[in-house]
Structure 1
Amino acid sequence: MINVSDQRAPRSLIVTLYGAYGRHLPGPLPVSELIRLLAAVGVDAPAVRSAVSRLKRRGMLVPARTSCGAAGYELSADARQLLDDAGRRLLAGPPGDEGWLLAVFSVPETLRQRRHVLRTRLARLGFGAAAPGVWIAPARVHDETRHTLGRLGLDAYVDLFRGEHLGFPPTGEALARWWDLAAIAARYEDFLDRHTGLLREWEQRADTPAEEAYRDYLLTLDAWRELPYADPGLPPRLLPADWPGPRAAALFGALRERLREGACSFVGQA
């Protein structure tokens, strides 16, 4: 099982919880359920309330009452779009070779903070810097990029283009300039190191206790969900032959398949 000491921050776990379950609910998630579901992964009630307060201030969560009148929280419209985009990226199939998306931007010197936010957001979407003011990503991230820039009011500074890389250096060599491939590979290897044994343990079990399945599934999902942003789906033919991405994705898929049903059972226990 995953060690509690390897957990992510409560705020991250709450976002993962809403991405996996909360965004599909017809109404708000009751506070009592939030506390129960986070307790199962080692987060106490005060830490849950503190993290929820921060997510409220960021505009992610909105207080609301359930149909029974219980206090709860639901996603804001912007947060729902963000998590819907993240869910599609998380479960996207193997990367193809559909070309590139270029973000060309210019932000006035008087708006340096906006420029910093823009660069930060492009990096979080998985873009690499091809040149000053020119960032590149696989074309598959186009819709999510439009949503993100529009939500943050940054779209006025950016032109988006689709295209091919025609030289002069081979595209595989250019990738090493645009992204830190060694750092991305290290994150995949870390995921493999931390979770290969977990899959082996579950494969050797005949039973699937609901709470244990939920605990390991949520922690695995929380660890995995940032990797498709670090590597936004770079074309396999351009990557090193021993690239660990497909092995890590297969491991995550196997854990998801093994644990998802038991985890859903625990979440459904009101």
Structure 2
Amino acid sequence: MTTHVGDRKGPREPQVPRHHQLIVSLFGLYARQHGGGLAVATIIALMQDIGVESTGTRSSISRLKKRGVIDSVQVGGRNGYALAPSVIETFNEGDDRIFHPRRAKKGDQWLLATFTVPESQRHIRHKIRSSLVRMGFGSVTPGLWIAPGYLRDSVLAYFDTRGLDEYLEFFMADHVGGADLHKNIGSWWDLPALDALYSDFLEHNRGILEAWLQREQLPGDHGSDARAFADYLVLITQWRRLPYLDPGLPIEFLPENWNALEAERLFQKLHALLAPRAERHADRAIENQVVAG
């Protein structure tokens, strides 16, 4: 059973990713390296490696197709799926942010965003707001949003490719005085909620790193590639939203003992340790399924 981050009524269990989230990670990590598509049998086999039954996988595939995330394709003469063209760029944009998160410095500029949407297009207003949150913006007022300045290029590209840039104005700005910026950042972003997400990530993954480091000390087999794949797919699925919710705010403006710093180090260690093993396992499964077809 998965508990919500904000639930403090009892001991908090680490949040377990949902099946469709794991499948999205599977496509993001491996489908693009193999022509973009994965056979249905491959998806089922790889999801079984992390304990997901075929019925759960098929149900999640159907849900992702209805949402327009994946499209039906033929892979080696077999039924399969590929990322929809409309989301491929989103995955490409996410690579640097997920695997190489940046942190702004105290004196860096800020990126400000404001938008105007006619009352008759409320759905556009909601889409813009949710997109700003997804890109890591904090809300200064309902009509003014702020993010670290280094995000400028990725933010402009994000809204341009989605046809939303006509509603927005962006500005680069320096903080030159006035109210306490440290205090305001705590109101523009929900820092306690972010810190709780990092705490959950650490709680779930510290033991996994320790277990793999112990395996490294053993002679012979250091642990199967299949086990590494299962741990890595869950790791990526847990991690990939965090560099978006946390835009890399300057450490000087964050609470003491900010869990993000330890979480980033833990992720990088596990990524370096597990990614090559996981890729070997996924590559074998994908190649075997194509040959079998």
247-256 or 171-180, which moves further after superposition? 171-180
User: Residue 42 of structure 2 corresponds to which residue in structure 1?
Assistant: 33
Aligned letter for 1:43? V
Alpha-carbon offset, residue 243 of structure 1: 1.3
Give yes or no for contact 1:78–1:151 (8 Å, CA) kept in 2: no
Percent identical across equivalent pairs? Answer: 36
Aligned mate of 2:96, from 66, 88, 94: 88
1:132: how far off? Answer: 2.2
Aligned to 1:214: 229
**1:146 is aligned with what amino acid?**
L
The C-alpha deviation readout for 1:123-167, integer Å capped at 9, x for no partner, is 121111012211111123333323432343322211122222223
What TM-score do you get using the length of structure 1 for normalisation? 0.92
User: In the alignment, which of 216, 233, 243 is matched to residue 248 of structure 2?
Assistant: 233
Tell me the CA shift for residue 119 of structure 1.
0.8
Task: Confirm or deny that 1:137 pairs with 2:137.
Answer: no
SS at match of 1:42: coil
2:9: which partner in 1? Answer: none
Equivalent residue of 2:171, what SS? strand
How many correspondences in the alignment? 265
Give 2:66's aligned residue.
57
Deviation for aligned residue 1:96: 2.8
Inter-partner Cα distance in structure 2 for 1:49 and 1:147:
34
Q: Which structure carries more relative contact order (alpha carbon 8 Å, separation 6+)?
A: 2
Contact 2:36 2:83 in 1 (8 A): no
3-state SS of 1:113 partner: helix
Partner letter of residue 97 of structure 2? Answer: R
Distance in 2, matches of 1:256 and 1:51, equals: 26
- C-alpha distance in 1, partners of 2:192/2:110? 21
Match for residue 109 of structure 1 among 95, 102, 119: 119
Deviates more, 1:93-102 or 1:230-239: 93-102
CA distance in 2, matches of 1:119, 1:78: 20
**Displacement of 1:25 after TM fit?**
2.1
Instruction: Tell me by how many angstroms 1:213 deviates.
Output: 0.5
Equivalent position amino acid for 2:42 in 1 = E
- Structure-2 separation of matches of 1:135 and 1:262: 41
Whether 2:208 is the aligned partner of 1:203: answer: no
CA distance in 2, matches of 1:7, 1:93: 23
Letter of the 1:69 counterpart: G
> What is the CA–CA distance in structure 1 between the aligned matches of 2:129 and 2:282, rounded to whole Å?
37
Tell me which amino acid in the other structure corresponds to 1:251: L
| SS across alignment from 2:175 | coil
Cα distance, 1:29 vs. partner?
Answer: 1.1
Question: What letter corresponds to residue 101 of structure 1 in structure 2?
Answer: L
CA distance in 2, matches of 1:179, 1:60: 29
- 1:182 aligned partner: 192
Q: Which runs of 5+ in 2 are unaligned?
A: 1-13, 217-221, 289-293
CA root-mean-square deviation: 1.7
Q: Does 1:72 align with 2:87?
A: no
User: Which residue of 177, 185, 189 corresponds with 1:167?
Assistant: 177
Contact kept, 8 Å, 1:101 with 1:138, in 2: the verdict is yes
* TM-score, normalising length: structure 2: 0.85
* Alignment-mate amino acid for residue 182 of structure 1: P
Which of 239, 246, 252 is the aligned partner of 1:224?
239
Report the AA paired with residue 112 of structure 2.
L
Change in CA separation of 1:162 and 1:24 when aligned onto 2, cut-off 3 Å: farther
With over 3 angstroms needed to count, the CA separation of the structure-2 counterparts of 1:144 and 1:58, relative to structure 1, is farther
Matched-pair contact (CA < 8 Å) for 1:211–1:266: yes
| Corresponding letter in the other structure for 1:228 | P
* 1: CA distance, partners of 2:177 / 2:142: 18
Cα–Cα, structure 1 residues 223 and 150, in superposed 2: closer, same or farther, change >3 Å? same
Q: Provide the C-alpha distance between the structure 1 equivalents of 2:227 and 2:150, rounded to a whole number of angstroms.
A: 35
